[in-house]
Structure 1
Amino acid sequence: MSMTMIQQVHRHRYRSLLAVTAALTACGIGTGSQTLLVTAIVPLLFVLQDALATKPSLTNQLSVERKLSPEAPLPGQPVSVTLTIMNTGDSTIPDLRVADGVPTELGTIGGNPRASAILRAGQKLTVNYSVNTNRGTYEFDPVQVRARNRSGTIMIESKIAPSGQSSLESRVSVDDIPLSNQTMNITGPVTTETGGSGIEFYATREYQTGDPIGRINWNQYAKTGQLSTIEYHEQRAVRIAIIIDSRVSAHVSSQPSLPTGATLCAYAATLSISVLLDEGHTLTIVALGTPDPIRSDPPPAHASTDEETAFGAHAAMICNAAATGSDEMMTNTDTDTDTSAVAGDGGIVDQHRLLSRLDSNEQVLFCTPALDDAAVSIAQSIRADGHELTVLSPQISNSDIGGRIAHLNRTNRLFRIRRLGGTIVDWKRNETLPIALSRALRDINSQ
């Protein structure tokens, strides 16, 4: 995309003094006052300086480029913005000031989108800053540029649409998870204590007709002349239910520009689905507080690899719906919430609906920010129903007084869930999701 000059406006600093000069001259002539006529010379000199001054021009003199890294961030992932302004003309711009058009929804977390410089011919001005993204698509406004001549009598203001990236999209989608985030240090499908095909040695037995040649113990045959077959620990896929806490109480963020707890939970569920499907596990996805985006069923939304062939697409829609929520659900607060009485937000009826979606032998990965006591009640129901439970909990509170209180309450809830027999993976704010998730999936595979 090429750079475009959208608007250019010249402003003369002393042009307004022309009216003052005319008024003083008229009064001096009308009254015959030489003092007024001499006084009129002073503003006239400024007007003449303004008229004779060299007019700066930004047309074909500036090259502006914007780069975003990464271009398609995941929710909560910082984005580095680099704005490069180059003087491609033959003359110096003695006073150049620029301000990038940062989307109002994004919060600047580092650097400054504004800069000023004396920009000589062929020189570059680089502006670096970082923003934090929530879910959604964001459009950058044109770059605002202001330049003055050496005397400061004339100013030119321009809006320039730079080359490079002008928008970014942050979303949760199975297909959009970077491959580098999928190659995590986790174990594969659950290893059993029975022999068969696999990769980890289990035992040897007598050779039987039809055994694969690749599993014959040729070393023993060379020593003893007797055929034997190598057996490995069999690896069997397990049934795993991934539960997203997208209730009203989970749609909370410490800052407007940061993702909510529900968004982070949906992000974790999306990556979990991708990894666990690759390992051949049977999956169920459940989103508490979210109606089904396809069937329009009441909460919780659910999908299962047992029930449908298009599980991936349905699961992606559920994750997107869980992460987005509704406008009424979005809250910015550091305090705990207690909305368990709201329909679709973790009450007894919703817990019964949740348990009805789970198979009796499914292990459960419960992604919740644990911002209310209903999260503990849900975990208790899952454990009482006989399911192994791993809880992945994103930390979203700030370090101010309200955030500290919320953090203490959350810590207490996670402790109560641990006492119920659940495994807790505390996803701290300075920890990347793949690292936290690798611990959670490792715990599931070891159960």
Structure 2
Amino acid sequence: MKRHETDRWRGVTAVVFLAAAVGVLVRSPAPLLVGVVAVAVAGYAAFAGGRPPEPTLTVEREVSETDPDSGEDVTVTVTVHNEGEFLPDVRVVDGVPEPLNVVDGSPRHATALRSGRHATFSYTVEAVRGEHTFDDATVLVRDVAGTTETEVAVGPDAETTVRCLPMLASLDRFPLRGQASERVGRIAAGVGSGTEFHATREYRPGDPLARIDWNRMARSGDLATVEFREEQSAPVVVLVDTRVQVYVDDSRGVSAVDHAVHAAGGVVSALLDAGDRVGVAGFGPRWTYLAPSLGRDHRHRVRETLATGAAFAPTPPEEQFLPTVHRRRLRKRLPSGAQLVCCTPLVDDYVVTTCRRFEAHGYPVTVVSPDVTGETIRAPHSPASSAGNASANCAGRASRSSTGTRPTHWCSPSGRPNGVAQPMSESERWPPDRPESEFDDRPARTSALLAVAAATLATIATVVVPLLVPVASVGTLALAVGVFLGRRRLVTGGAVLVLLAHLAGGLFGVDPLWPLAGAAATFVAWDCGEYAVGLGEQVGRDARTRQAELTHAAASSLVAVLAVTVGYGGYWAGVGGRPVVALVLLLVGAVVLARSLSS
């Protein structure tokens, strides 16, 4: 728990002494009664700040779906229970995981909570791949005057986790390179059953009749057996470029890493369907490696690794990346004869150098380069050729499907394309269009409107002295501009200008009720305006805040009404005929009393 003072009322004492000085100078009680309002405000702030609230809160959080599909909307409902005393100003900011995008509502809320009551709010996030755990909600509790602010972190008893495992993309095929040539194909390993001729040997008892070379027997009378080269599935490791340089967003806010992971899923799916042993690994600061294997269970492991593996996280890594150490570690894990498929958007040339080094160590590399620009086709680099040659060899050979998916390229080291991605169906299209949500920190509407209304009333109170109306009007305009643009200095400056207009009213011998009422309205205008700006900065305009705003405005209005009633009533009842010095001493004594209450 953290507690600190907000310093909202630092200038109140100065207003008191300014009013006293003007009253003594012009020998008029009207400016002194303006000081009465300032004394009432100081007492209000001191009394409220002297008893800061002790929040006793619990939070419940529910999600509509814990295992959503990628792009599915998930509704989050948060309930805050007050198990302690009355809390006039409670501001809640829920701990939304960074990768999740809020698409509807707001994870922020402000309200007033009586003892034993609760407040509920909800918002909607869009599911993205990965396992996302919500943080504790941050709760700010203020006293009714906003003098002190207490910050606490409150979370539910059990963690709230949303786990999204997108389906692997569907590709009809993905040709692999031959081990010793640039032609596509699988690794020929050993002699056995197959279709490719290998050699002939002497007949051995038990050899199948179908394997006997009958042509040779007809020519020479010798029995011989034909041997074929047996094909085995090639071990393949799909390497995803996850360096911090790759975390750049396209026009829709989707990072290049997301595109590369999606492409990797399609490659893995096609190779598993073809019977190849496939694994995945990340090339970045965070280590993730899944050894090549086959089967339905392994397909699920790949899907889970691409979604939740540390290397493939949607957020950029903060760890230091040592590429040489990473390459050595990866080479120790690679099976003998393995091929690499590197999924990278090719944001720089370093990954090209890396692919060439794997090629030099005997691991054939195929580069898959998703087009993340959405405008032009990015030509992939070839590890065995220069970047310029690769662009010339591969440019324009990717296929852009009619469904609107972005093209994917894969090329062999010579720059010749190994294949093209097949068009995806509507249900497989990725990434979906996602609306971007931005925090709207504009001032809260209700308090802003109340501030302008109170400032307008304060300006009307200057009509008894027509010369002061323009001054007060300029102040009201400045306050209105500040409260709607979120500029605290304009709010304070406009309120000070209106207050000075009412202090000047004492020079014209007007009835003290007018400056007194105008000063009270100015106080309400400033308090509501400053509250609107602060509320917008902390919880935003999109959050539900009306109950907290109305509670705060009611307290300010009550203080203003009491100040006018007590000040004007006391003036007529007891001090109407007394010297101005007596009123000054009364104001000074009130300030000392307010200070003692504060301490």
- Coarse TM-score class (shorter-chain normalised): 0.3 to 0.5
Higher Rg of the two aligned structures: 2
Greater share of strand: 1
TM-score (norm 1): 0.46
Greater share of helix: 2
- Higher RCO, Cα 8 Å, sep 6+: 2
TM-score (norm 2): 0.36
